[in-house]
């Protein structure tokens, strides 16, 4: 059974409805500090306040710490490249979280998570104590040799100024020029996102004339999401422009000569010893991802790339971090790194924190059997047509992990204008559910 498009549009309210309104018993006052106001952090802050307000037996204080005045959504940000959206269309401030739900918002950056007690260090305000800490800081990038100046070579994989910069570089690309982009080793944020970007850039350049090229250097052994759709789009729509090269890992960039240096890999990701150097007039190198340094330095990643968590609560699996939760792209459950997924995880985490604050059970059959998350990505293939991808995950008591629900992996059979319109309804629902 594959999921129908309408089902995707209904998924966000469906997750909210799953919200297992906890039977709260306690009067305890509980301070939750949320670090990062993106899809994961804004959702958890909003839902803890919203759900707890419905029950006078608990008193939840929620403080959201975020350095930016507004979050810029990566979702839909590839449409900034072709001028269909502006960054301001994708910017969400925290006025509703503060005014409507009573979240306290501190514009600040968390520098340290104490290993000695329940407190964090803010850049401008010193130490802040918590009862529960939710870390929702998204991703950081590995360094690449020579890739030192993001003003020259933007990744635009965290939306904002770099997205505008990349748009301008594409606008100014010389006639019959070459755009080179790279895709990092999985797991990375938004599995279909880079292929979507390749299509949109090819669409922009194709409209301009002939002779342009988009070279896609993929460190993986093939297209990672919507394989059928993108394979067809690359050959049927953009066969003259897109040159897709799997198993090429970028290891260096010369920002003066505009050459990208790659190592050629075997199908299982080992280096063959082969190398290549590829010239581009515009370079869009997306480095390999990992959890941000805040998590690595605190020990939350336990020496790995992502933070291990218990997916029934999103609490850290490490005993030394009681009361610390990690949601969104930084965590290591293996579910897709997407904003839709971050929003779903945040609700499970909010529910767990509320139950714990109230002294309620977290492992009732009813709760564990209904523990699901889902992810959806819409991919514009050109300026008026899109495809989509969706997947549902369910908690598996035997493995202790979230497993893909058999038959739930859905993919649009065609890109079309109806999907393109639905993409806006879906994203507006998600934005509203997160930030408004």
| Interface contacts to ligand FAD, rule CB under 6 A | 35-41, 65-68, 71, 74-75, 77-78, 109-110, 136-138, 157, 189-190, 193, 292, 294, 328-329, 337-340, 342, 375, 377-378
d(CA 243, CA 346): 38
d(CA 58, CA 3): 38
* 353 sits in which H/E element: helix 339-358
Q: How far is the CB of 238 from ligand FAD (least distance, A)?
A: 18
Give 22 or 393: the residue with its C-beta nearer to ligand FAD.
393
Which tokens go with 425?
A: 């309804």
The single-letter DSSP state of residue 224 is -
Give 51 or 157: the residue with its C-beta nearer to ligand FAD.
157
Give 294 or 354: the residue with its C-beta nearer to ligand FAD.
294
Give 337 or 356: the residue with its C-beta nearer to ligand FAD.
337
Give 26 or 84: the residue with its C-beta nearer to ligand FAD.
84
User: Which of 85, 73, 9 lies closest to 383 in space, CA to CA?
Assistant: 85
Q: How far is the CB of 369 from ligand FAD (least distance, A)?
A: 25
d(CA 376, CA 366): 25
Q: How far is the CB of 42 from ligand FAD (least distance, A)?
A: 8
Give 244 or 358: the residue with its C-beta nearer to ligand FAD.
244
Q: How far is the CB of 375 from ligand FAD (least distance, A)?
A: 6
Cα–Cα distances (Å) from 194 to 1, 145, 186, 190, 388, in that order, read 27, 21, 12, 8, 14
User: In the complex, which residue's CB is closest to ligand FAD?
Assistant: 38
d(CA 432, CA 436): 5
Give 263 or 335: the residue with its C-beta nearer to ligand FAD.
335
Q: How far is the CB of 97 from ligand FAD (least distance, A)?
A: 13
User: Which of 146, 159, 151 lies closest to 85 in space, CA to CA?
Assistant: 159
Q: How far is the CB of 376 from ligand FAD (least distance, A)?
A: 6
Residues 6 or more apart whose Cβ sits within 8 Å of residue 174: 281
d(CA 54, CA 160): 36
* 3-class DSSP assignment, residue 169: helix
Q: How far is the CB of 305 from ligand FAD (least distance, A)?
A: 15
């Amino acid at each position: 059974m594959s999921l129908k498009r309408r089902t995707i549009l209904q998924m966000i309210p469906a997750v909210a409805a799953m919200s297992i309104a906890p039977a709260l018993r306690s009067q305890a006052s509980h301070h939750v500090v949320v670090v990062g106001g993106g899809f994961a952090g804004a959702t958890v802050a909003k839902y803890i306040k919203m759900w707890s307000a419905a029950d006078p037996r608990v008193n939840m204080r929620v403080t959201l710490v975020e350095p930016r005045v507004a979050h810029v959504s990566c979702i839909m940000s590839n449409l900034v490249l072709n001028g269909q959206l502006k960054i301001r269309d994708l910017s969400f401030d925290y006025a509703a979280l503060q005014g409507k739900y009573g979240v306290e918002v501190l514009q600040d950056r968390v520098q340290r998570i104490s290993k000695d007690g329940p407190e964090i260090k803010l850049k401008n305000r010193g130490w802040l104590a918590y009862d529960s800490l939710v870390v929702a800081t998204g991703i950081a990038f590995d360094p690449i040799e020579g890739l030192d100046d993001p003003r020259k070579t933007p990744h635009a994989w965290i939306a904002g100024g770099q997205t505008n910069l990349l748009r301008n570089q594409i606008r100014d690309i010389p006639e019959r020029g070459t755009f080179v982009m790279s895709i990092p080793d999985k797991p990375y944020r938004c599995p279909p996102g880079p292929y979507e970007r390749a299509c949109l850039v090819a669409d922009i350049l194709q409209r301009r004339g002939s002779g342009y090229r988009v070279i896609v250097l993929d460190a993986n052994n093939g297209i990672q999401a919507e394989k059928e759709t993108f394979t067809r789009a690359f050959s049927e729509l953009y066969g003259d422009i897109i040159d897709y090269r799997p198993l090429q890992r970028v290891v260096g960039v010369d920002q003066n000569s505009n050459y990208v240096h790659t190592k050629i890999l075997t199908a299982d990701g080992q280096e063959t010893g082969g190398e290549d150097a590829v010239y581009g007039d515009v370079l869009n190198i997306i480095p390999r991802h990992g959890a941000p340094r805040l998590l690595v330095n605190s020990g939350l990643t336990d020496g790995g790339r992502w933070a291990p968590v218990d997916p029934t609560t999103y609490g850290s699996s490490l005993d030394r971090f009681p009361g610390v939760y990690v949601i969104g792209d930084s965590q290591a459950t293996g579910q897709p790194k997407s904003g839709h997924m971050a929003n779903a995880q945040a609700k499970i985490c909010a529910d767990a924190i509320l139950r714990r604050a109230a002294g309620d059970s977290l492992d009732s059959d009813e709760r564990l059997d209904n523990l699901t998350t889902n992810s959806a990505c819409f991919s514009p293939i050109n300026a008026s047509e899109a495809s989509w991808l969706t997947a549902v995950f369910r908690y598996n008591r035997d493995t202790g992990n979230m497993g893909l629900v058999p038959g739930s992996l859905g993919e649009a059979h065609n890109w079309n204008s109806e999907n393109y319109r639905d993409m806006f309804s879906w994203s507006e629902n998600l934005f509203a559910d997160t930030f408004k």
